Chain A
Amino acid sequence: MVVSAQGSSAGPDDRVGEPRPRTFAARIFQARGLTKTYRMGEVEIHALQGVDLDLYAGELVVMLGASGSGKSTLLNILGGLDTASSGSVQYRDQDLTHASDPALTQFRRDHVGFVFQFYNLIASLTAVENVAIVTDISRNPMPPEQALALVGLQPRLEHFPSQLSGGEQQRVAIARAIAKQPAVLLCDEPTGALDSKTGIQVLEALEHVNRTLETTVVIITHNAVIGEMADRVIRLRDGRVETIHTNAQRRAPGELRW
């Protein structure tokens, strides 16, 4: 089904009878009427112009859209990195719309993992230390070594970012994001800076995390092929949700080609 209509109140019941590879027990995010306007230098940007969206526990969602469609802004608001100009966002029972800065910090600390296009590793820390910097402040983290093992980087624990390839750096970033065992993993163009072969390794790592840890994974990309590995594909255009498509079957990242 397509959950897109403005103002519709999507819920688990809406999905009754849908063909799905897996069932999603609970809705974890609910966004309604989100808008976001910000200034960039001397230009005013309307990044979001009324977005309604729901995300469910354990699903893998791919968000597609051209550059400037509002994908990153939406992700930032869901992740508590940014606040909307208007509209509302709810995470489980928590209202993020009017949350204070400390509350948002706590929310991110407890529930959200981020993966960025340019990895954003701290150059002065080794792979395992880059993960430790998150586990140091988490409530129930896995050991950094285990997180790196999950993304296949066990042999590179003590390497500095400058000693790692782009794909390896991105996998460290994923390990860093999952080490705290977050409910949701938000990935902004995780393969954007990588060649296709390395990109697929990264996607495999994300898929592996989604499957084994049942973490909700949201991947932002402008590469439509990646949509084939998702449970649902959400297309954004000019700051609005254009379509939401549910895949009958998820394809393994290894089968993707671009």
Chain B
Amino acid sequence: MRALNRKLLRDLATLRGQAAAITLVIASGVMTLIIAVTTLDALSLTQQRFYADYQFADVFAELQRAPDHLAGRLVQIPGVNQVETRVQAAVRLEVPDFADPVRAQLLSIPDGRQPALNQLHLREGRLPDPARDDEVVVSDAFAEAHGLRAGAELRAIIRGRLTPLRVSGVVLSPEFVYQIAPTDLLPDYERYAILWMNRRALASSYGMEGAFNNVVLSLQAGATEAPVIDHLDRILDRYGGTGAYGRDDQPSHRFLHEELNQLRAQAVILPTVFLAVSAFLLNVVMSRIIRSQREQIAVLKAFGYRNGDMAWHYGALTGLIVALGCMLGIGLGAWAASGLAGIYMEYFRFPQISFRLQPGVVLLAVAVAAGAALLGTLNAVWRAVRLPPAQGMRPEAPARFRKGWLERSILRDGLSQPARIVLRNLTRHPVKSALSVLGIAMSVGLLVMGTYQLQAVDHLIDTQYRLVQRMDLHLTFSDPTPARVQAELRHQPGVLAVETYRTVPVRLVSGHRDYRTAILGMDEQPVLRQLLDGRQQPQRLPSEGLLLTDYLARDLGLRVGDPVRVEIQEGHRRTVEVPLVGVVDEPLGVSAYMHRPALNRLMREGPAVSGAWLVIDAGQQQALFDRLWTLAGVASIGLIGEAEANIREYMGDTVLMFALIFVLLAGSIAFAVVYNNARIAFAERARELATLQVLGYSRAQVSGILIGEILLLTLVALPVGWLFGTAFAFALNQAFSMDLFRLPFVITPRAYGTATAVVLAASVVAGLGVVRRLHRLDKISVLKAVE
């Protein structure tokens, strides 16, 4: 079949523009699939290996203080495999040549050796020498952010005492794959550190000799978590336990888990959209090719080519396009996925990422792409095969046209002949026209969705940092402090405004659902930390009752007026019922809010606060920091500007990069659909258009027919596309709603406008392309040849 194969390659070369457009769309689909599945695979595999190799614990608990011998009782709990008790301390760090406040979590490890659970991966140096009290190992992200190597020196303020520390090594831990400070939403490697120190040394400087305040457990194979947690809680209750929790509530694991879920959703949604569009494009193009090669097919069959040969021939044409698309997509996908794995490594601290391009994933991508192509071309190829040769040889019967209802009713008199041609062409093939509209609308929708994503993230950050968090500094105190500290803070240098708050860790329970968070007790009308209602207006705190982030209220299945069971996890742990009196609309994080005096009453305490928010004069920042560090009880100082910068960077790295790629891909789809439509419209009408020119129509008039058809389809598609886009954006909005952040469902006119402009631009470029062809059309030869 050598000559037939040569025809195949030459056909492909002739169709290169259209074939390239389809190839790109297929490549996009395959690429998104490869990226999502490979990244998902890499992250889960890496996670599993790290957890298994370094004995990641299953259950975690914090408490005030329990004697070491209690460990013997804990290991007796049915289902428990191993127990590791620890001392943990929240401390302040001073890093040489770094002015900003640094918070740290200091954890103990058995003197001079690895713990049984949550073992450390030494990236550099060694574990602390059991003979020395001042050695620590530090988390690698923190070390990296400050360029700390083994031998570096730090100072920590442990229980108010300045303690010099020496770094003996740099480590990674399965417990801190995602390293985030307790009140933060995103990692800040410069300002938050995790340090490990010998048990004896830490216990002595923290006043925990012979005792522990943190314990982690591993479960026996097949054991269930819930009874172990209950049992553990009962034992730890009298030691000030704040409620044990499983991996699902362990912050690092939870974030990683959320990320994997997002990837899983992405692995389905994006490739489906792209491959559906490519199936549609292949259908349009293959139908057209086969129609234009009617006679060739007839001739080949006349000479004795079999149906199977024809099916193979046109199937192979599709196959080549699909193969090219797959190769491109796999290449780009593997490249992008390994790049993305690098970005993930920045946020998820693993010893190394186990990136691999599995043959199974490649096969899956090829199978899905081929399946879509098959769906798209089956019908067209089948028609080619079935065409009786004699019929193929006869010119096609003049297509049946009728006056559509539109023409008979509204437009009865007002139409020119060219307008009639446009209208009848479109109404003659209602299915084809509808599919074209659908294709264009799909790309409009994708563009709306992409732009929405970009703008929603901006909107989210603006809302959070312009409307919700309006302070410059965020102070936390090591213990509840009398409320009069507010006046003291107000008189510090450069402080322009102060508001204080009380925060209490709680477990909120509703039915069988529960959520661990903190209740923030605030002024009646907080200004520096506003609570927004559904219309983004600040709301007042009622003197009694609880407010919840609306996402959390929905998640717990609570409505305003419902009682909420609140398990207080601090001090004398009590369980109380508080009515839900309102919801708060906020894009980042989830929380619970109360009027501070009400929270103080709930805690059976006087007017106490846990922290403060400050607005400061930036010029006096350094002087203020120096003063604040000398104040007893200040546990941490958070810079809100830094947090905003961090979150913008994080969003820029991940969400925005995805969105940008997305807008580019959607733009290419728009162009591919419109261009293919225009080329086909041109090919089908070449004879008609040449005839009109011979009859005396000007080029402009004839071009008008062609452009008119493209334009009409595009105009009909635009509103449909806006609807699609709104629906896509809503789906995305739902998929991206989680504890960490929620994209606001706000589609600006600009999103619709951008999508419209891109698609119109694609239409104009495609239209100009075919008009150029029209001008080059040899009218005589077109007229002489049979169609």
Q: Do A and B belong to a common assembly?
A: yes
Question: Given the complex, which residues of B lie within 8 Å of A21, measured CB to CB?
Answer: none
Q: Is the CB of B300 within 8 A of A133?
A: yes
A136 and B4: CB pair below 8 A?
A: yes
Q: CB of B432 within 8 A of chain A?
A: no
B163 at the A interface (CB under 8 A)? no
Cβ A124 vs Cβ B11 within 8 A = yes
The 8 Å CB contact of A129, one of B6, B391, B394, B785, is: B6
Does A40 lie within 8 Å of B305, measured CB to CB? no
A67 within 8 A of B: no
Contact of A110 among B6, B304, B305 (CB under 8 A): B304
Other-chain contact of B400, A41, A81, A193 (Cβ < 8 Å): A41
Interchain CB contact under 8 A, B397 and A40: yes
Q: Is the interface of A mostly helix, strand, loop or mixed?
A: mixed
Partner of A122, one of B7, B302, B307, B785: B7
Question: B487 in the interface, Cβ–Cβ < 8 Å?
Answer: no
Is B296 an interface residue, CB under 8 A from the partner?
yes
Task: Give Cα distance in the complex from A105 to B389, angstroms.
Answer: 10
Q: Flag whether B390 is at the interface (Cβ < 8 A).
A: yes
- Assuming the contacts A124-B7, A125-B6, A132-B3, asked whether A116 and B390 have C-beta atoms less than 8 A apart, the reply is no
Question: A192 CB to closest chain B CB, in angstroms?
Answer: 11
Considering the chains assembled together, what is the distance between the CA atoms of A79 and B303 in angstroms?
A: 10
Interface residues of B in 288-310 (CB under 8 A from A): 295-296, 298-307, 309
Are B4 and A120 in contact, with the CB atoms below 8 A?
no
Hey, which chain B residues are within 8 Å of A76, CB to CB? 389-390, 393
| Residues in chain B near residue A130, CB distance under 8 A | 3
Whether, in the assembled complex, B1 has its beta carbon less than 8 Å from a beta carbon of chain A, the answer is yes
- Residues A125 and B393 in contact, CB atoms below 8 Å apart: no
Which interface class (under 10, 10 to 19, 20 to 34, 35 or more) fits A?
Answer: 35 or more
Closest chain A CB from B383 CB (angstroms): 15
For B1, give its contact among A81, A101, A105, A136 (CB under 8 Å).
Answer: A136
- Nearest A residue to B392 via CB reads A81
Interface centre among A40, A41, A124, by most B CB within 10 Å? A124
Asked if A108 and B303 make an inter-chain contact with CB atoms under 8 angstroms apart, the answer reads: yes
Residues in chain B near residue A106, CB distance under 8 A: 304
Task: Digitize A111-145: 1 where CB-to-B-CB distance is under 8 Å, 0 elsewhere.
Answer: 01110101010101100011011101110000000
Residues of B near A133 (CB, < 8 A) are 3-4, 7, 300, 303
Chain B residues, CB < 8 A from A134: 303-304
A109 adjacent to chain B (CB < 8 Å): yes
Q: Quick check: is A82 within 8 A (CB to CB) of the other chain?
A: yes
0/1 string, B428-448, CB within 8 A of A gives 1: 000000000000000000000
| A13: Cβ under 8 A from any B Cβ | no
A118 and B397 contacting across the interface, CB-CB below 8 Å:
no
Contacts of B296 in A (CB 8 A): 120, 122
Contact of B2 among A40, A118, A132, A176 (CB under 8 A): A132
Q: Does A155 contact B (CB under 8 A)?
A: no
Q: Are B14 and A136 neighbours in the complex by a CB distance under 8 Å? A: no
Docked Cα-Cα span, A73 to B390, in Å, equals: 8
Residue of B nearest to A114 (CB): B302
With A41-B397, A41-B398, A116-B393 already in contact, the answer to whether A137 and B304 are too (CB < 8 A) is: yes
Expressed in whole angstroms, the minimum distance between the Cβ of A239 and any Cβ of chain B is: 16
Residues from chain B with Cβ under 8 Å of A42 in the complex: 400
Candidates A81, A110, A132; contact of B390 at CB < 8 Å: A81
Chain B binding surface, main DSSP class: helix
Known contacts A42-B400, A116-B393, A132-B3, A125 near B10 by CB under 8 Å: yes
Q: How far is the CA of A9 from the CA of B785 in the complex (A)?
A: 42
Whether A102 sits at the interface, judged by CB under 8 Å, is: yes
Is B786 positioned at the interface, with any CB of A under 8 Å from its CB? yes
Q: How far is the CB of A77 from chain B (nearest CB, A)?
A: 8
B306's contact among A41, A105, A110, A120, by CB below 8 Å, is which?
Answer: A105
Question: B388 contacts the other chain (Cβ, under 8 Å)?
Answer: yes
| Residues from chain A with Cβ under 8 Å of B303 in the complex | 108-109, 113-114, 133-134, 137, 176, 180
Whether B3 contacts A82 by the Cβ 8 Å rule is no
B785 CB to nearest chain A CB (Å): 7
Indicate the size class of the contact surface on chain B. Answer: 20 to 34
In contact, A109 and B3 (Cβ under 8 angstroms): no
Interface string of B296-327 (1 = CB under 8 A from A): 10111111111101000000000000000000
Residue in B11, B299, B301, B394 with the greatest tally of chain A CB atoms within 10 Å? B299
Q: Cα distance A112–B390 when bound, in Å? A: 14
From B10, B307, B391, A101 is in contact (CB under 8 Å) with B307
Using Cβ atoms and an 8 Å threshold, which residues of chain A touch B390? 73, 76, 81-82
Measured between alpha carbons, how far is A137 from B303 in the docked complex, in Å? 9
Q: Flag B1-33 by CB within 8 Å of A: 1 or 0 each.
A: 111101100110010000000000000000000
Closest to B295 in A: A120
Instruction: Pick from A79, A82, A106, A176 the residue with the most CB of B within 10 Å.
Output: A82
> Cα distance A106–B308 when bound, in Å?
13
Q: Which residues of A contact B786 (CB under 8 A)?
A: 118
**Given A41-B397, A76-B393, A81-B390, also A129-B3 (CB < 8 A):** yes
Give the CA-CA distance A40 to B399 in the complex, in Å: 10
Once the chains are docked, how many angstroms separate the CA of A73 from the CA of B393?
A: 11
**Closest residue on chain B to residue A73 by CB atoms:** B390
Q: When the two chains form their complex, are residues B10 and A114 in contact, meaning their CB atoms are under 8 A apart?
A: no
User: Contact: A108 with B4, CB < 8 Å?
Assistant: no
- State A10–B18 Cα separation when bound (angstroms): 57
B3 to chain A, nearest CB (A): 4
Q: Which of A79, A109, A176 lies at the interface centre, i.e. has the most chain B CB atoms within 10 A of its CB?
A: A109
CA distance A42 to B400 in the complex (A): 8
Contact of B301 among A105, A125, A129 (CB under 8 A): A105
B residues 356-413 near A (Cβ < 8 Å) are: 388-391, 393-394, 397-398, 400
Pair B3/A114 contact, Cβ less than 8 Å = no
- A118 and B3 within 8 A (CB): no
On chain B, the residues within 8 Å of A102 by CB distance are 306-307
Given A41-B397, A82-B388, A118-B786, the answer on whether A125 and B3 have CB atoms closer than 8 Å is yes
In the bound assembly, the distance between CA atoms of A105 and B306 in angstroms comes to 6
Contacts of B307 in A (CB 8 A): 101-102, 105
Question: In the docked arrangement, what's the CA distance between A159 and B486, Å?
Answer: 94
Contact yes or no, A125 B389, CB < 8 A:
no
B6 adjacent to A116 (CB under 8 Å): no
Whether the Cβ atoms of A114 and B304 lie closer than 8 Å is no
Return chain A residues, CB-CB under 8 Å to B309. Answer: 137
Query: In the complex, what residue of chain B is closest to A119 when comparing beta carbons?
Result: B299
Return chain A residues, CB-CB under 8 Å to B14. 124
Which B-chain residue is minimally distant from A111 (CB atoms)? B304
Residue of A whose beta carbon sits closest to that of B4: A133
For A40, the chain B residues whose CB sits under 8 A away are 394, 397
Nearest-Cβ distance from residue A186 to partner chain B, whole angstroms: 9
- The interface centre, meaning the residue of A40, A106, A132, A133 with most chain B CB atoms within 10 A of its CB, is A133
Chain A residues with CB below 8 A from B784, complex form: 193
- Report chain A residues within 8 Å CB of B299: 114, 116, 120, 122
Determine the residue in chain B with the shortest Cβ distance to A117.
B786
Which residues of chain B have C-beta atoms less than 8 A from A176's C-beta?
303
User: For residue B12, which residue of chain A has the nearest CB?
Assistant: A124
CA distance A136 to B394 in the complex (A): 26
Contact flag A136-B2 (CB < 8 Å), given A42-B400, A79-B302, A108-B303: yes
Residues of B within 8 A of A136 (CB): 1-4
How far is it, in angstroms, between the C-alpha of A138 and the C-alpha of B3 when the chains are bound?
13
Q: 4 other contacts beyond A101-B307, A125-B3, with CB at 8 A cut-off? A: A82-B390, A102-B306, A109-B305, A137-B1
Kindly list the 3 A-B residue pairs having the minimum CB-CB distance in the complex, ordered from nearest. A109-B304, A82-B390, A124-B10
A to B CB contacts below 8 Å, 18 in the list = A41-B400, A42-B400, A73-B390, A81-B298, A102-B306, A110-B304, A112-B302, A113-B303, A118-B785, A120-B296, A125-B7, A129-B3, A133-B7, A134-B303, A136-B3, A137-B1, A137-B305, A138-B304
Residues of chain A touching chain B, judged by Cβ–Cβ distance below 8 Å, are 40-42, 73, 76, 79, 81-82, 101-102, 105-106, 108-110, 112-114, 116, 118, 120, 122, 124-125, 129-130, 132-134, 136-138, 176, 180, 193
B interface with A by C-beta (< 8 Å): 1-4, 6-7, 10-11, 14, 295-296, 298-307, 309, 388-391, 393-394, 397-398, 400, 784-786
